Amino acid sequence: MRRAVCPGSFDPVTLGHLDIISRASALYDEVIVAVGMNASKNRMFTLEERIAMLQEATTQYGNVSVDSFDGLIVDFCKAHSIQVIVKGLRAISDFDYELQMAQMNHGLAGIETLFMTTNPLYSFLSSSLVKEVATYGGDVSGLVPEAAGRRLIERVKTPQN
């Protein structure tokens, strides 16, 4: 059984994330999308909301499930018998940090990292930019899955904090 993880914050999930998740699901028997609990970043959505949005967006993939993780991703990998971390690379600016993390994770636990080049349609797309567009009333359809777009518009209208 070849199992991969797609880790991230997914605040919220974007079509760029979904593209990487769907391509990973074609390569591995099982893909687990792991949502980081890391509270240090300023989040628009709670962990539960981020998980729900990912579940809504991945129901069409029979071999994709959604979970959360706290602490090191390599510990999550060991606990779930995952051999590979799949990450998307948007631009050279992503590479520096991703390279360090991949080398650290291999050094810590022998976990491999597979980098997929982003679909050029989504190379400009990040969760933080999507939040900014939504905050100022811009159109986010075509950037995030439909259900996530609805939640985003709702949250902008009634901020939680």
Residues that bind ligand ADP (CB under 6 A): 8-10, 14, 16-17, 20, 87-88, 90, 118, 122, 125-127
Nearest to ligand ADP of 56, 157 (CB atom): 56
CB of 1 to ligand ADP, least distance (A): 23
Q: Is 127 a catalytic residue?
A: yes
Query: What SS3 string covers the chain?
Result: CCEEEEEECCCCCCHHHHHHHHHHHHHCCEEEEEEECCCCCCCCCCHHHHHHHHHHHHCCCCCEEEEEECCCHHHHHHHCCCCEEEEEECCHHHHHHHHHHHHHHHHHHCCEEEEEECCHHHCCCCHHHHHHHHHCCCCCECCECHHHHHHHHHHHHCCCC
Q: Is 17 a catalytic residue?
A: yes
* Active-site residue (options: 23, 78, 90, 155): 90
Tell me the CB-side half-sphere exposure of residue 137, using CA atoms within 13 A: 0
Nearest to ligand ADP of 120, 158 (CB atom): 120
Nearest to ligand ADP of 19, 157 (CB atom): 19
CB of 81 to ligand ADP, least distance (A): 22
Q: Is 43 a catalytic residue?
A: no
* Active-site residue (options: 25, 43, 50, 127): 127
Q: Is 141 a catalytic residue?
A: no
End-to-end CA distance of the chain: 43
* Active-site residue (options: 2, 41, 128, 141): 41
CB of 11 to ligand ADP, least distance (A): 7
Looking at the annotation, which residues are catalytic? 17, 41, 90, 127
